[in-house]
Structure 1
Amino acid sequence: MKMHSVLSYKEASEKLTLKQKVGQLFMPAVFINDTEEEVQQIENLIRTQAIGSICFFHSRASAATNFEGKKKVVHNEHSYNRLKQLISRYQKAAEFPLLIAIDAEWGLAMRIENTNQYPYAITLGAIHENSELIFEVGKQIAMDCKEAGIHWNLAPVVDINDNPKNPVIGYRSFGDDKNKVLSKAKAYLSGMESVGVLNSIKHFPGHGDTATDSHLGLPVITKSKKKLQENELYPFSKLIKHGVDAVMVGHLAVPALDDSENPSTTSSKIITDVLRTALEFDGVIISDALNMYAVSKKFPQKGTLESAAFIAGMDVMCFSEYVEEGIQQIINSATKERIEASFKRTWKLKEQAFADAGQEHSISSPLALNKVLAQHSLTELYGNAPIVEQIKKSNFLNLSVDNQKENLFSAAIEKQNGQCHHQLELNSIHEIRNLTADHKNIVLALFPPFVKPKNLFGLQPEILGFINEMVAQKNVLIYLFGNPYVLDILELNPSANVVVAYQDFSEFQTEAYHHFTNQIEAKGKLPVKLQNYHEKI
């Protein structure tokens, strides 16, 4: 993709008007599946307001904008080509080259279908002492971004997820150990940096220990300042010293840092006093999406949220819904010096991105990498290891709870081992109960429909009840292709045996089968603590 050249900061500072400089601080959302009318509206916004950056999302019905899930997501098989077309159009509309951003924590597939997908952070968290693999993930994602024309990956998440009920972070975190989160994040960042793609660690000051989704409401972190410094703030502090391009501020109420009940997004005590001054971060500070209800509902007047965030110390207003009003309010309320300081930081980031834009990097398939990641993340949670081999050698019941993905694991067992595959569904519980009467041993492949904990990960209570019944009465070996926190809703007895495969990718299913047939060993370590299950020592 042809890249634009960008003025030096000195040239830009002299050329741009004050209004244009403020426009450079705005990052409105743009959508792959927008209509032509909506695309033209964005082009006009870019053209008339001197927008500095845009952030791509899938559609106006996707989770990032459709919090209650009332709109139906329309899938687009040609999303990737559409992404590149829109980037080209929006760049042409811009007088000054745009920074193109996206959330690609586990690859472009987080927003763009039919693109390379890599494992979630929780899966990478299970990889034990192998920073090279995490580096490679960061590098591959960055190369995919660069190939598409994206300069800025708003990743990684460095929140320490120590709340199993966290509805929005969970699987997006490397785990609940601050040192492991730090080391994984550092390796991921180094991989991105090797390609020249910008990063943003998030969600400052730490979104891990909350049971509230900030898309819907304002989470409150009630820890003391000492505990925050020891835990939540730890990876941010260390990574800032290591060097990062940007820090994203989440929508959180943190009384120990600001007792005014201000969300961190609009808190000068958190943004300026803690992040900018105490932690000595001199890079770009970017907001989490300003459309999220945690803050948007508190500022009903158009432009006041953007202005409040800027006054608090924010540099870039991500997902601003009221760009024109926000620009005017900032001009009315901020000093020229303050505007210039944010403009300088963001323009320097733009210079950096476009300086790296011409470098070529070869892109490899994610399949080979995902295979190795699967091998190194597979985690054995055996309560009674000797029983496992007995189960494998017996005439066990080959059972699964499936999601929409093809179940290659159970199919391989049927084909290679001869045990007929049966699916556990609401309408098959009676039939499966009869089958279990003739089997002492069961191999259960569990594919939760959801990766988030809402509504029991999408598993019906009747299905869970039947699984609990089997676990209590039979020798059951579970292969879990999903979030390990699923195990907290299973009433497992101490002797239960589980293998966590984390992802339902074909590569992970294949390697899980290779583990089942003793062709490979499980090398992973559980990245989070579970309520009623412990990893073998």
Structure 2
Amino acid sequence: MLGKAVFVFTFSGLLCLSALAQQREAFIPFINSEHAWVDSVFNTLNDRDKVAQLFMVRAHSNLGQRYIDSVAAVVQREQLGGIVLFQGGPVRHAQVINRYQQLSKVPLLVAFDGEWGLGMRLPDSTISFPYQMTLGAVQNEALIYQMGLEVAKDFRRMGMNINFAPVVDINNNPRNPVINFRSFGENKQNVTRKGLAYMRGMMDGGLVTSLKHFPGHGDTDVDSHYDLPRLNFTAGHLDSMEMYPFRELIKAGASGVMVAHMNIPSLDKTPNLPSSLSKHIVTNVLKKRLDFQGLTFTDAMDMKGVVKNFGGGEADVRAIIAGNDVLELSENSARAIDMVLQAIKQGRLTQQDIDTRVKKIIATKYWLGLDKLSAVDLTNLYRDLNRPQTEALNQRIADAAVTLLKSDSLIKAIDYTRRTAIISVGLAQISEFQDMLGWRFDNHMHYVLSPQATADDVAAVANELRRFNQVIVALHDNRVRPRSTLNYNSTVRLFINELASMNTVFCIFANPYSLAGLPGIEQAKSILVCYQNDDIMQRAAAKVILKRLTPSGRLPVTINAFFRYGDGN
């Protein structure tokens, strides 16, 4: 058990930072107390309006005016409790938020998937912080707390108030297609420490957060967006491993928990029943056994993992019966509201079931300050969302994540006057990493190999290497998301194997699991793991090569017998 004393010791630095954050009443006791404003709003709602507060609808700002108008019609007609924003642009997002808030009698909850900040959905115009797998390597949780504060500042500047983050799934399955790099790693204590720092930063910054995906989606090989994963672990294993971060962060005051769509026979034997629809899992385990009194969110209710076996709106009714407070992205919210009202008449639900949750939702809006709602100011919005101090923090986090595997002897021996080959594999053009190194090496040559380079391309570079005394190789995954295997052909992989047997420094700008798909790379004398292909990580690696940074990160996952959790010099 990670006891209270360990939390206090590990997060002593966070306590000082937290004191500097905006002082707020504790979320859990606040939303479970009586408030005059909450009662005044609740008393204006009819039975249909009350049920509508339990639903959040999808919203985009990049799908054209007709789509924006259609969501506006739903918000106005159904008077739902909130919206969940996806792709678009900052100004367009702010404009639709202003419009939808004006159409709503009760201020809307405005949610967003911002696991690595606004850049998760708005990558072209806002800051993307490192993925959680990268953060798992960072040994200074105070940096992650500061990141949480900055993310909260961005959200509130945009008019958003809920972040569906952090992910506290323990990724102990390298083949996981849906969590993977979105997790802090495989160690439950490390996941808990990092999740607590991020959660506290965001909550101290005035956001509602949502731990996901309860009771733990890290050891699955099925994506619940497309099918229903099945977890065959014992209840004891789930309690001691998958649920561990949720339990500890609930003790620390977590404001929200998102329930996953997974079939878990050891917790509920009902065939094909997703965990999000299980009363035992949501009410008995999460709310009673773990004593969670915050907001319970479902994962998206339009995912195949939940509607595959419970279509026609039945999934929405069962999700509420199970004990969820807020349903995210029903396939048809109007139909769902009608069916919930019918379920009350049939005795499947009681009005008290609904009323208790509605008051908690309205109290959440009160805690967020929505009783004094004002329109999002569009003036200087881009500038405010791209602050120099935030960029600087982002680079500090990247610097802290770089992980040195094997020895640093080659790096220490680098001579900037010697003939040096700097090779980027997996790209089509010179990288930021190469640009940063080029100015410092007096006699160097850049080479670039695509992931599908031909044998002739590889042979040409290999022949050139005879002229050089030093070789630095960067392996890049240039895809949008870093997957567990690199998309390199067999010719390129064989070349990497040959390079590893030479005195070569490797820098891996890719998912750390991808090292397992590069047989022979363990022979390399120096390997810098940089986790993702962003410019900030390339700059961090260049600083190490230029001897301006000592790498301090540690592997958050076990890759194979050669590279294990916690490795790093």
Give TM-score scaled by structure 2 length: 0.84
Q: Deviations over 1:80-133 (max 9, x none)?
A: 1111111111111112111110011111110113111111111111111x2211
Task: Give the whole-Å Cα distance in 2 for the aligned partners of 1:253 and 1:392.
Answer: 57
Task: Give the whole-Å Cα distance in 1 for the aligned partners of 2:71 and 2:539.
Answer: 44
Q: CA deviation at 1:222?
A: 1.7
Task: Give the whole-Å Cα distance in 2 for the aligned partners of 1:449 and 1:522.
Answer: 23
Change (3 A) 1:279 1:117: same
Match of 2:364 among 349, 356, 359: 349
Q: CA deviation at 1:406?
A: 6.5
Alignment of 1:367-382 (within 5 A): 367-382=391-406
**2:403, 2:529 within 8 Å by CA — same for their partners in 1?**
yes
- 1:280 is matched with 291
The one-letter code sitting in structure 2 at the alignment partner of 1:38 is Y
The one-letter code sitting in structure 2 at the alignment partner of 1:517 is L
The one-letter code sitting in structure 1 at the alignment partner of 2:532 is Q
- 1:51 is matched with 80
Change (3 A) 1:342 1:372: same
- 2:8 is matched with none
Verify: 1:335 aligned to 2:375, yes or no.
no
- 1:325 is matched with 335
Alignment of 1:127-146 (within 5 A): 127-128=138-139, 130-146=140-156
Verify: 1:118 aligned to 2:129, yes or no.
yes
Q: CA deviation at 1:460?
A: 3.8
Q: Deviations over 1:340-388 (max 9, x none)?
A: 122122121111112697899x974322102211221111001x44344
Alignment of 1:223-372 (within 5 A): 223-260=233-270, 261-301=272-312, 303-333=313-343, 334-354=349-369, 364-365=387-388, 366-372=390-396
Verify: 1:456 aligned to 2:481, yes or no.
no
Task: Give the whole-Å Cα distance in 1 for the aligned partners of 2:168 and 2:430.
Answer: 32
Task: Give the whole-Å Cα distance in 1 for the aligned partners of 2:506 and 2:371.
Answer: 47
Task: Give the whole-Å Cα distance in 2 for the aligned partners of 1:410 and 1:318.
Answer: 44
3-state DSSP of counterpart to 1:444: strand
Q: CA deviation at 1:456?
A: 2.8
Task: Give the whole-Å Cα distance in 1 for the aligned partners of 2:193 and 2:371.
Answer: 25
Q: Percent identity?
A: 33
Unmatched 5+ residue regions in structure 2?
A: 1-34, 344-348, 377-383
**1:451, 1:483 within 8 Å by CA — same for their partners in 2?**
no
Give TM-score scaled by structure 1 length: 0.89
- 2:543 is matched with 514
The one-letter code sitting in structure 2 at the alignment partner of 1:281 is F
- 2:514 is matched with 486
- 1:168 is matched with 178
Change (3 A) 1:404 1:154: farther
Alignment of 1:336-485 (within 5 A): 336-354=351-369, 364-365=387-388, 366-382=390-406, 384-390=407-413, 395-403=419-427, 407-417=431-441, 418-425=443-450, 426-427=453-454, 428-438=457-467, 441-450=470-479, 452=481, 456-471=485-500, 473-485=501-513
Q: Deviations over 1:38-67 (max 9, x none)?
A: 212111111111100000011xxxxxxxxx
**1:7, 1:351 within 8 Å by CA — same for their partners in 2?**
no
The one-letter code sitting in structure 1 at the alignment partner of 2:220 is T
Quick check: 450-459 or 309-318, which moved more?
Answer: 450-459
Change (3 A) 1:389 1:102: same
Runs of 4 or more off by more than 6 Å in structure 1? 356-360
**2:82, 2:108 within 8 Å by CA — same for their partners in 1?**
yes
Task: Give the whole-Å Cα distance in 2 for the aligned partners of 1:324 and 1:461.
Answer: 53
Task: Give the whole-Å Cα distance in 2 for the aligned partners of 1:510 and 1:401.
Answer: 17
Quick check: 453-462 or 158-167, which moved more?
Answer: 453-462
Change (3 A) 1:311 1:277: same
The one-letter code sitting in structure 1 at the alignment partner of 2:138 is I
3-state DSSP of counterpart to 1:446: strand
**1:480, 1:500 within 8 Å by CA — same for their partners in 2?**
yes
**2:148, 2:205 within 8 Å by CA — same for their partners in 1?**
no
The one-letter code sitting in structure 1 at the alignment partner of 2:181 is Y
Unmatched 5+ residue regions in structure 1?
A: 1-5, 59-75
**1:250, 1:264 within 8 Å by CA — same for their partners in 2?**
yes
- 2:9 is matched with none
Change (3 A) 1:453 1:217: farther
Change (3 A) 1:462 1:22: farther
The one-letter code sitting in structure 1 at the alignment partner of 2:86 is F
Task: Give the whole-Å Cα distance in 1 for the aligned partners of 2:318 and 2:219.
Answer: 26
Alignment of 1:74-113 (within 5 A): 79-113=89-123
Change (3 A) 1:199 1:168: same
Task: Give the whole-Å Cα distance in 2 for the aligned partners of 1:109 and 1:209.
Answer: 26
- 2:10 is matched with none
**2:301, 2:328 within 8 Å by CA — same for their partners in 1?**
yes
Change (3 A) 1:455 1:150: same
**2:497, 2:521 within 8 Å by CA — same for their partners in 1?**
no
Task: Give the whole-Å Cα distance in 2 for the aligned partners of 1:200 and 1:356.
Answer: 22
Change (3 A) 1:421 1:377: same
The one-letter code sitting in structure 2 at the alignment partner of 1:294 is G
Across the two proteins, how many residue pairs are aligned to each other?
Answer: 508
